Amino acid sequence: MLYTLHELAYASAAPFRIGAQMARDFWTSPFNPAADTALGRTAFASAELFESVTRRYGKPDWGLDVITIDNRPVRTTEQVVWSSPWCRLVRFARHIGDLKRAGKPTSAPAVLIVAPLSGHYATLLRGTVEGFLQDHDVYVTDWTNARQVPMLEGRFDFFDYMDHVRSMLGVIGPRAHVVGVCQPGPPVLAACALMAEDEDPNRPASMTFMGSPIDARLSPTVTNELAEEKPFTWFQSNMIHTVPWPYPGFGRRVYPGFVQLYSFMSMNEEKHTDAHWRYFQDLVSGDGDGAQKHEEFYDEYLSVLDLTEEFYLQTIDIVFQQHLLPRGLLEHRGRKVDLEKIRDIGLMTVEGERDDISGVGQTQAAHGLCTAIPDERRVLYVQPEVGHYGVFNGRRFRDDIYPRVRDFIAANEALSAVPERTATAA
Q: Which residues pair with 140 in a beta bridge?
A: 90, 113
Is the same domain home to 211 and 322? Answer: yes
Span 40-98, pLDDT tens digits: 888 888 888 888 877 778 889 999 999 999 999 999 999 999 999 999 999 999 999 99
Same domain, 16 and 52: yes
Q: Are residues 405 and 297 in the same domain?
A: no
If asked whether residues 285 and 341 sit together in one domain, one would say no
Please report whether residue 159 resides in a domain.
yes
Residues composing the chain: 426
Half-sphere exposure of 140 (CA within 13 A, CB side): 27
Q: CB of 363 within 8 A of CB of 351? A: yes
Residues 264, 386: one domain? no
Tens digits of per-residue pLDDT, 10-38?
Answer: 777 778 778 878 888 887 888 888 878 88
Helices (H), 175-330: 185-197, 222-229, 232-238, 257-267, 269-285, 288-301, 309-315
Query: 234, 142, 193: which is closest to 330 by C-alpha?
Result: 193
Looking up residue 175, the CATH number of its domain turns out to be: 3.40.50.1820
CA angle at 222 for the pair 216 and 227, rounded to the nearest 5°? 60
Q: Is residue 34 part of a domain?
A: yes
**pLDDT tens per residue across span 333-381:** 999 999 999 999 999 999 999 999 999 999 999 999 999 999 999 999 9
Number of domains in the chain: 2
Residue 61 lies in a domain: no
**Contacts with 214 (C-beta within 8 Å, 6 or more apart), sequence order:** 185, 186, 189, 325, 326, 349, 362, 363, 364, 365, 366, 369
Tell whether 317 is covered by a domain.
yes
**The domain containing residue 222 runs over which residues?**
66-231+309-425
Nearest CA-CA partner of 321 in 208, 186, 137:
186
Q: Distance (Å, rounded) from C-alpha 52 to C-alpha 169? A: 39
Phi, psi of 141 (to 5 degrees): -80, 120
Residues 106 and 209 in one domain: yes
Does 403 lie in the same domain as 343? yes
Conformational region of residue 404, where left means phi above 0, alpha means psi within -120 to 50, and beta covers everything else: alpha
Q: Are 192 and 204 in contact (CB under 8 A)?
A: yes
Tens digit of each residue's pLDDT (9 = 90 or more) over 278-314 = 888 888 888 777 888 887 777 787 889 999 999 999 9
Q: Could you give the angle at the alpha carbon of 152 between the alpha carbons of 147 and 156, nearest 5°?
A: 60
Asked if the structure places residue 296 within a domain, the reply is yes
Query: What are the CB-based long-range contacts (under 8 Å, 24+) for 104-107?
Result: 104/69, 104/70, 104/74, 104/135, 106/422, 106/423, 106/424, 107/137, 107/420, 107/421, 107/422, 107/423
Asked whether the predicted pLDDT for residue 267 surpasses 70, the reply is: no
Same domain, 159 and 19: no
Residue 378 domain flag: yes
User: 7 lies in a domain?
Assistant: yes
End of a domain among 281, 301, 321? 301
Are 86 and 200 found together in one domain? Answer: yes
Residue 244 lies in a domain: no
Rounded to the nearest 10 degrees, the angle between the axes of helix 158-172 and helix 185-197 is: 60
**Would you say residue 192 has pLDDT above 90?**
yes
- The answer on 266 and 194 residing in a single domain is no
Average pLDDT score over the chain = 91
Residues 349 and 288 in one domain: no
Residues 46 and 70 grouped into a single domain: no
